Amino acid sequence: MLVSPAGYLRGGKAGLMAEIDFPPLLACQNISLDLGGREILRNIELEIRPGEVLGIIGPNGAGKTSLIEILSGRYSPKTGTVKYKGKDITGLQLYERSRIGIGRTYQTPVVPEDLTVGQTFKAARQAYKPYLTRFDAEYASNLVNFVTDESVPTSVLETFNRRKLLLATLLLRGPELLLMDEPAAGLINSEVEEIDEILRTLSKEMNIAVLIVEHRIELLDTIADSVIVMDAGEIIARGKLHDIIDSPAVRAAYFEVAH
């Protein structure tokens, strides 16, 4: 089991973590975004530290995915900056951000339909120079509990195994930050518990920061160190989940939206 020094320090949250202020891994300021002539995001500011799990919740259309698109480099913001390890990366493309340690997952896990599991890993390993080994792929598979035989075509994998396969190939890059858009969407309860476990391993043992968008508040209860609540393109609350969940703004935006 890999336990980084920072991970060890975080283990003693109540004591050491409270005293040591780690610099942010990723920080964005004053982010706004227009799409199709509409303002989609307004004045978004957030920070995430190494190994931290930051949850983003909010009703449909709040702008959660759009924010991930900006942080991952698929969209350019109208205003604002994104910094990674203190450097301004606002102008970097998706592939450039992935090279410096920012990985992202999508709401729908799209796998290469005409490859087997083994061929998918091989293609992922050979995207590196020097090529990564089969052991690297095995290690990444173990981290996400992916135990499917290499000969299985990816097209027959269920949603959860697709997610695991994609996550394992992403982990081959050794990301320090994962931007995850609803990784529990479409999963049954036991799978949700397992993905919680996997994310805990990645954050607390591998020291990977995880920004996780999730609709269902209860799923973040156990895993997120803190949460941000978005509504209509803005951040309306942030903090520990249990501290903000009953605030009038969150109740109005989140719970009462379905009525």
Which residues make up the interface to ligand ATP (CB under 6 A)? 35-36, 38, 40, 58, 60-66, 215
Residue 226, interface with Mg ion (CB under 5 A)?
A: no
Residue 65, interface with Mg ion (CB under 5 A)?
A: yes
Q: Which is nearer to ligand ATP, 63 or 80 (CB)?
A: 63
Q: Which is nearer to ligand ATP, 33 or 168 (CB)?
A: 33
Q: Which does 35 bind (CB under 5 to 8 A by kind): Mg ion, ligand ATP, none?
A: ligand ATP
Between CA 10 and CA 4 the distance in angstroms is: 10
Q: Which is nearer to ligand ATP, 78 or 122 (CB)?
A: 78
DSSP conformation class of 5: H
Between CA 231 and CA 90 the distance in angstroms is: 23
Determine the 3-state secondary structure of 88 from DSSP.
strand
Residue 234 CB, shortest distance to ligand ATP, in Å, is 11
Residue 44 CB, shortest distance to ligand ATP, in Å, is 11
Q: Which is nearer to ligand ATP, 3 or 35 (CB)?
A: 35
Between CA 222 and CA 152 the distance in angstroms is: 34
DSSP conformation class of 85: T
Do the beta carbons of residue 36 and residue 26 sit within 8 Å? no
Determine the 3-state secondary structure of 35 from DSSP.
strand
Residue 76 CB, shortest distance to ligand ATP, in Å, is 13
Q: Which does 120 bind (CB under 5 to 8 A by kind): Mg ion, ligand ATP, none?
A: none
CB atoms within 10 A of CB 251: 12
Residue 187 CB, shortest distance to Mg ion, in Å, is 16
Between CA 196 and CA 209 the distance in angstroms is: 14
Q: Which does 36 bind (CB under 5 to 8 A by kind): Mg ion, ligand ATP, none?
A: ligand ATP
Task: Choose among 50, 51, 53, 29: nearest CA to 41.
Answer: 29
> Contact positions toward Mg ion, by CB under 5 A?
64-65
